Chain A
Amino acid sequence: MMRLPMFDLRAPRTTDEAARILAGEGANAMLLAGGTDLLPNMKRRQQVPRTLVSLRNIGTLKQSQFNPAGARLGACVTLTEIAEDPRFRNGYSALWQAAAQVATSHIRNMATLGGNICLDTRCSYYDQNYEWRKSISFCMKKDGEVCWTAPGSERCMAVSSTDTAPALIALGARVLLRSGAEVREVLLSDLYQNDGMNYMLRQPGEIVEEVRLPALHGWKSAYWKLRRRGSFDFPVMSVAAAARLSPAGVVEEARIVLGAVASRPLPADEAAKSLVGRPLTEETIAEAAAQAARLAKPLDNTDFDMSWRKKVTTAFVTYALRDLRGDDMTSVNLSLGRHIL
């Protein structure tokens, strides 16, 4: 079998202590939340930290609170907890749909929201074991020089594959980062950059402590995901859409974010803007969908043919906006994933 490399395991009880360990160990340490991404990666030697700092014993990271200003979610709230909480299902639907569609129920039981936000970018040249990567002389993301997805590229083209981040960005989420005694709060969208290796602007000593969602105040949202199997897979293209609608159904404000078509969640601001001041009709939806799809530039480093992934982006933006509008999406859901979300 594939064995984990040797490592030291630390399990602090407070974020302060975790931050101290992290500061002391520097680049040799990594945070361990649910472990569903990191531990398999370690078996494949994609990451080989000398020290793992487990967040499991830090109770404050597992709490979530709802108040009139919105919601606060500890970074170690599991995806199952989100998927089973009616306050998300009935309010922050995009987040609920995203969390409920991550991998399998076994993985959702372990995986955390913070972990999914920080999920390593994925690529079919990178998500392979040590021997496989050796047989292509490795790639620039780990141990090698070239990006095999685009050999002329200066940067790594690995794909942002988090489901929850596009949904959270569409919902206007902010995150709280702690480094020692210092705490900063940033828009989640500002935490990412379009680089497969340095996809997050999180500093090595920083811990994602909390996700903050603004109050809903009329916002509706939806998350739609392309994958081969409704039971299992990472997204290979996804759409999160959120909009604040007037009582008459006119869009007052909107956000559309594409997932898994770049190295970061990709806001489609122009497309979202095209909806403002108009009702969600088939025409306005089609216009926004076409605009958003133009941004998607999938490459040949995930499942499915890249040109097809681009082609069907329009359809998925359409699904998300129709869902947000309140259409009955049962048959599309059944067709895509064999389940009703």
Chain B
Amino acid sequence: MPREKDLPKRASRDPKRSGDDLRVIGAARRRVDSRGKVTGQPIYADDISLPRMAHCKLLRSPHPHARIRSIDTSRASAHPGVYLVLTGKDMPIEYGILPVSQDETALATDHVRHVGDPVAAVIAREELTAFEALDLIDVDYEVLATISSPEEALATPEPRLHTYGEEGNIHKRVSFEFGDVNVGFAEADEVFEDLFFYQGSTHLAMEQHASVAAKDRDGKLTLWTSTQVPHYLHRSLAKVLGMPTGHIRVIATPCGGGFGGKSDPMNHELIVSKAALMLDRPVKISLTREEVFYCHRGRHPVLMKFKAGVKKDGTLTALDLQTLVDGGGYGSFGVASTFYTGALQTTAYHLPRYKFRACRTFTNKPPCGPKRGHGTPQPRFGQEVQMDKIAERLNIDPAELRLRTAVKPNELTANFLQLGTVGLSECIERVVAMSGWKDKFRKLPEGRGVGLACSCYLTGAGLSIYWNQMPHSGILLKLDRGGGVTLQAGTTEIGQGSDDVLSAIVAEILGINTADIRVYSGDTDLGPVDLGSYSSRVTLMAGNAAVQAAERAKAMLAEVVAERLEVPPEYLVFANNHVFDPGAAEKKLTFPEAICLAEAKFGTIGTAGSYWPPKMPAAKYKGGGVGTSPTYTYSAAIVEVEVDPNTGWLRVVNVWNTHDLGRALNPTLALGQVEGSIYMGLGEALMEEQDFRRLPKKLSHALVHKAPSMLDYKSLTSLDMPPVYTEFVEGPDPRGPFGAKEVGQGPMLPIAPAVANAVFDAVGVRIDEVPITPEKILKALAEKKAGRAPRFGPKHFPQIQWPEPLRVPPPWEGGDGRAINDTPKPPKPAAKVEKVLSR
């Protein structure tokens, strides 16, 4: 068991801390799948080997942008050991994760948009044979002009990467104004204008994508695959293969990390499925690390312009934010990501007026998508560094500035997001205390510094990816006569511990041990629909569904036990594998006895639980659904750095952080999520870059990923991590199961801005972009020495033709959540009645 001294301190905001009577929830436990994981037991997709199995390799485009004139596969097909060669015409149906961006085909039909875009697939007896046969496919390409950045995309409307989207190579523009920001700027004592850039990065999950597809004896399809979203994949398979979903089974295999990189239906998953059906043979694909870099869907590079108005006391009067988002070659989650580059700017500090405009462009690079924090780390970096600059100019301690402006619990924000519990102030106070901030800030010797930043994140996206009125999560429970409980869920265990959390919730309610529960998750045949492991939604949504299913089972058991023991059911306690009346020691039954009684009376004991997010009555304007969530979490982090003024070398010395997570259902897991988030945040802050290299234009049209390997794409290893000190701020949120909120993404967000702010404290230069590298620090130090602005960062934000903003008056200006200048929409079908579980 984890040692108590290794676990984070837990400060409770609740003086009469409820939950002291809990036995499983809140206790630091080994996760239910830990023994198997550490002894190498899980069967990952790449471990699967089936009789007669064939292997697939993909021929990928060597060109960043080209039309395919023709493909000749005859030589490859004739190669000994090759079973099948597929091209785009074999599966031309378009798909994509978002209904508004159905812009991918499994193999290119006539247009390739980045180096690595798949063009053909070879399925052969041996993987090496398939690889060798790739060189036997003759593709005639017409090379097209290449777009490497959003600025180029804006300046180059032709050739278009896609024929849909707004115009030219602009994929999506959004424009909102919540209150008149000019009024806010007029009221301000100081106006701050800052440009920031946040570099793209990849997820770097240890496990590369892999899939095995097989045709069952009855002609149905089974796909084992490393995915975060079996349900959305299930739908895409049905669409592209033209099969009913009932004839397709998706099994999410044990996952060696996702972080958002396995949240899209992927071309290779569709290809092996098609091949298995055609060949009537199992077909497997295991991507190389390079290919994972081409699948990408990682962090969007974002250029940002922040204009903020503040009063002398630090009160914010207005924010005008523009973002320019580098989307890569396809839509992916990009429309949502674009909204997210501004949706949560109102949820940490009270902002009375807010203007937000964002533009996503297509570029000839692998598509960007959702990575931990999805679209929000970039503007969070800008906002938190700008807050530090505001504090500096106004001569207010950065912690104090944030405490003064922090949002209040249950606030309705300028953009009509309904907050729940808010532990931001407690997070700041705790992290200031634990780090010794007051003795360090602006007091450390030259070359040493501390920086503070905060953040806010969703606990599950309020809306499904496709419009529907059905639940977001479902759970089935079956109680066996012998006392065993089977839990069937559509959730996907991607290492975050969702199987453990669901077991713990059911064990707590039924008074049993997690060891007596068997979880079947991530299988579309066995479990009810769960939307997937993304947006930090599983603990809250599937957890609430598990609460409902377990409470329903408990009620059936309580009814029969109450009859047998002749006590009112509400007297009964479920604990230690027994159901008993605590007032009368002899009045008890074992848990299996209770099940037998219940089964005798009701028949087979199975229950279901479902979860719908609270219907958001607030944001009624178009686009208002992005950013809504049942509740939000808060984090604060302080980073201490050391900078060598001679070389610019940067070392992170310590990280302190606090996270408002409602309640830690299993503190061991929660701590793992926090430390993993901080590792990822430091990687982005210090070194990670999904960066591309363009060769001299007169010699080559190449535009290639600079370092698509785990050696040359730099990310911290465990040996490079600084000490991390964590405390949880707990205060149960009524919307979460046992009060729990998210912990998997939020703690990442403050890390990069805290590093930037610490560098300023150490050597007095601003690095307004990530990664923050020694080269940039040394350049900024040279600027400082030369008497120029002591800064490294972007210098220019391009002119963008913005659409007229949707004007939504904020709540305090009498707004009702509707835009006052929107064209009326036809009425939608009556919305489902709100279903929030209360406990």
Please give the residue numbers on chain A whose beta carbons come within 8 Å of chain B beta carbons, in ascending order.
1-3, 5-6, 124, 127-129, 131-132, 134-137, 146, 148, 151, 228-233, 303-305, 308, 311-312, 315, 334-336, 338-339
Contact = CB atoms under 8 A, between A and B. Distances in A.
Contact of A229 (B46, B717, B778): B717
B288 A135 contact: no
Interface of B: 46, 60, 62-63, 115-116, 127-128, 131, 208, 286, 288, 290, 642, 644, 646-649, 651, 687, 693, 695-696, 699-700, 702, 704-709, 711-712, 714, 716-720, 722, 773-775, 778
9 contacts: A1-B46, A131-B116, A132-B115, A135-B63, A146-B699, A230-B720, A233-B711, A233-B714, A308-B774
Contacts of A131: 60, 62, 116, 290
A230 B714 CA distance: 12
A315 B645 CA distance: 11
Tell me the dominant secondary structure on chain B's binding face. Answer: loop
B459 to A, nearest CB: 34
Contacts of B707: 124, 303
A305 B116 CA distance: 26
Contacts of B705: 132
A132 B695 contact: no
Contact of A231 (B649, B651, B709, B717): B717
A315 B290 contact: no
A338 B704 CA distance: 32
Nearest to A4: B128
A229 B716 contact: yes
Contacts of A232: 711, 717, 719
A308 B648 CA distance: 10
A120 to B, nearest CB: 14
Nearest to A232: B717
B682 to A, nearest CB: 12
A336 B717 contact: no
Contact of B649 (A137, A233, A336): A336
Contacts of A233: 711, 714
Contacts of A128: 290, 708-709
B696 A151 contact: yes
B128 A6 contact: yes
Contacts of A305: 773, 775
Contact of A134 (B62, B288, B714, B716): B62
Nearest to B652: A338
Nearest to B289: A2
Contact of A1 (B116, B286, B719): B286
Given A136-B704, A229-B717, A338-B651, 5 more contacts: A5-B128, A135-B115, A305-B773, A315-B644, A334-B651
Nearest to A1: B286
Contacts of B128: 3, 5-6
A-B pairs, top 6 by smallest CB distance, nearest first, are A231-B719, A135-B62, A308-B775, A305-B775, A231-B717, A3-B128
A272 to B, nearest CB: 23
Contacts of B695: 136, 148
A337 B687 CA distance: 14
A305 B705 CA distance: 17
Contacts of A3: 127-128, 131
A151 B714 contact: no
B481 to A, nearest CB: 46
B599 to A, nearest CB: 49
Contacts of B773: 304-305
Nearest to A148: B695
A109 to B, nearest CB: 16
A3 B60 CA distance: 17
Max chain B Cβ within 10 angstroms of own Cβ: one of A129, A228, A304: A228
A137 B647 contact: no
A136 B687 CA distance: 25
Nearest to B128: A3
B644 A335 contact: yes
Contacts of A315: 644, 646-647
Report which residue of A2, A135, A228, A338 has the largest number of chain B beta carbons within 10 angstroms of its beta carbon.
Answer: A135
